Chains A and B, each alone.
Chain A
Amino acid sequence: MNSRRTFLRQISGAVLVLGAGSLWSSWASAQAQSRGIQMPGEDGLLVRSSRFFDLETPVEYFDTWITAAPRFFVRNHMHEPSELTATDWRLTVAGEVEKPVTFTLAELSRIAPHSVVNTLECAGNGRGLYRPQVPGAQWGKGAVGTARFSGPRLRDLLQRAGIKLSGKHVMFRGLDEVPGKVPPFIRSIPVEKALDSGTLIATHMNGSPLTKHHGFPARALVPGWIGAASCKWLTEIKVLESEFVGNFMSPGYRFPNRPGKPGEAVAPEDTHPVTALNVKSVIASPLDQADLKPGRISIHGAAWAGEADIVKVEISIDGGSSWNPAPLARDHAHYAWRLWSYIWIAPRGDHRILARATDSLGRTQPSTPVWNPGGYLYNAVDEVNIHVV
């Protein structure tokens, strides 16, 4: 009788515990695994697109300060270069310079290298969370990662070419293969950022040569800025008298000057280029809709703020009524995220856990993100709902 009662109690308990959302979430997660796409060197990433590659890092991987390359998100606007070899590759520096220069990879490797641990985030990370939804890759929370990028400083290359005073912007062109009549992926950054000691022409990521997905043999690395600034498969650097004019400078990658009503169009003259990243935190664990046992639960994740520093991360376990400081991990660098963790003794019940970060500029994650037509810079307070049974 006892075993029969236990069995019936377990069955009814399981049925009660599994809410519809949790049911779909668990099922969808299992389906996502079983539909796996073979992709050498990419470790369990979410496939937003496989032609061209848009691969997202699952949030549970945000438990290490450095993200390994196979777990690092991939964002391509177009097709990767089909023919690209270390021996044939060239990088030119021209435009508003005294003497245009062309570098081979071997010549680039002889210029003093510098390393920057940088949190690289796609401007559209979180686009899929905006309501109403906007077109584009429907990223969840994982188009972000942190790596140690190494290579010569961009300013050292510009100095060799002799940048003129008329140079105000520095343009990057990659070797992306353009489909149809799509405008080429060309963007520019202000000369002040180009000359910053942290801005690199990176040839290495986490101590190894860049993989093709991450821009082999060289990419720009514009620390603290949106990923689109860090052009991959770089082949041309051109100093310009003004900002580059092209689709990926406008209307692409622009943000409203003032928050508007969600869903409303924004006039181009009321926008500005998206540059540095926002303050943001993401909960890596527990996962949304997780079923957990009562007791000690480690709530942990990562927080970053572009060019600013994270000063605090706070956790709420009561849906935002009260907030508790989450200790920050020791590893830190100017442009890198901080890991954080908070230990909580969880009682039975359904719980809504929130995380919010504040940075050295005094910015705090908002409860509601600023909706914009491009779906850029999503940084609302992060949230997971868990069931403790």
Chain B
Amino acid sequence: MSFKTLVHAVSTMALLFCTLQIWPQSPAAPKPVLTEELPSGSMHDKAVTACTECHEARIIVQQRLGRAAWAKEVDKMVKWGAVVDTSDRDALIDYLSKNFGTDRPPYVPPRTSSIKAAPQAGASR
């Protein structure tokens, strides 16, 4: 392989690396979760209506809990007003346990953008 060819190959790999986010598959370091969307599934719509009326999906997406802990959370939230039919309870807990279980890679939060402070309506005296 000529030097030029090698440079070209390395550059192409680097470009793919950056633009397509093609990363080495390493079981020791799984790819972090970077989305706040609830994943698809039979309970997706139920999770959206039951949970995100009061808080955003990000609060769910960052949890890493076992099934028993998810069951406790769902029951607490139902007590606090989340609308979940009794017939949907177990399936919703399954959905949350599967997608946000202890074996899932960590969620990485975004940052607030560094924009100039605007006057806050409530902060004037």
> How far does the alpha carbon of A39 sit from the alpha carbon of B124 in the complex, in Å?
18
Q: Does A70 contact B (CB under 8 A)?
A: yes
Least distance between A274 CB and chain B CB atoms (Å): 19
Interface status of A17 (Cβ within 8 A of chain B): no
B5 CB to nearest chain A CB (Å): 12
In the complex, how many residues of chain B place their beta carbon closer than 8 angstroms to a beta carbon of chain A?
50
Complex Cα–Cα for A4 and B2 (A): 11
Beyond A70-B117, A135-B69, A181-B81, whether A44 also contacts B111 by CB under 8 A is: yes
Which residues from A are CB-within-8-Å of B66? 132
Q: Are B115 and A179 in contact (CB under 8 A)?
A: no
Complex formed: what's the CA distance from A180 to B81 in Å?
A: 5
CB-based contact A49/B125 at 8 Å: no
What distance in Å separates the Cβ of B71 from its nearest Cβ neighbour in chain A?
11
Instruction: Kindly identify, within residues 8 to 33 of chain A, every residue whose CB is under 8 Å from any CB belonging to chain B.
Output: 8, 11, 19-21, 23-24, 27-28, 31-33
Closest beta carbon of chain B to A105's beta carbon, Å: 7
**A 36-52 contacts with B by CB, 8 A:** 36-52
Selected interface stretch from B40-48, B87-95, B101-109 = B101-109
CB distance from B37 to the nearest CB of A (A): 12
Q: Which residues of A contact B81 (CB under 8 A)?
A: 179-182
Number of A-B contacts (CB under 8 A): 149
Interface pair A216/B110, CB less than 8 Å apart: no
The answer to whether A41 and B118 touch across the interface, beta carbons within 8 angstroms, is yes
Q: Is the CB of B55 within 8 A of A47?
A: no
Quick check: A210 and B112 within 8 Å, CB to CB?
no
State the interface size on chain A (CB cutoff 8 A).
59
Contacts known (A32-B111, A132-B66, A180-B80); A51 close to B56, Cβ less than 8 A: yes
Contact of A132 among B28, B73, B102, B125 (CB under 8 A): B102
Q: Which positions in B face A, CB cutoff 8 Å?
A: 3, 6-7, 10, 21, 23-24, 26, 28-29, 31-32, 34, 53-56, 58-59, 62-66, 69, 72-73, 79-82, 102, 107-118, 120-125
Q: List 27 A-B contacts (CB under 8 A).
A: A19-B29, A20-B24, A31-B110, A37-B110, A40-B116, A46-B110, A47-B112, A48-B109, A49-B58, A50-B56, A51-B55, A52-B55, A55-B112, A56-B109, A84-B122, A105-B125, A133-B63, A133-B64, A134-B69, A135-B63, A137-B59, A138-B62, A181-B79, A182-B54, A182-B80, A209-B123, A216-B120
Using A182-B81, A212-B121 as known contacts, list a sample of 10 further A-B pairs with CB atoms less than 8 Å apart, ordered by residue number in A.
A35-B34, A37-B110, A45-B112, A47-B58, A47-B112, A48-B58, A86-B125, A133-B64, A135-B63, A137-B62
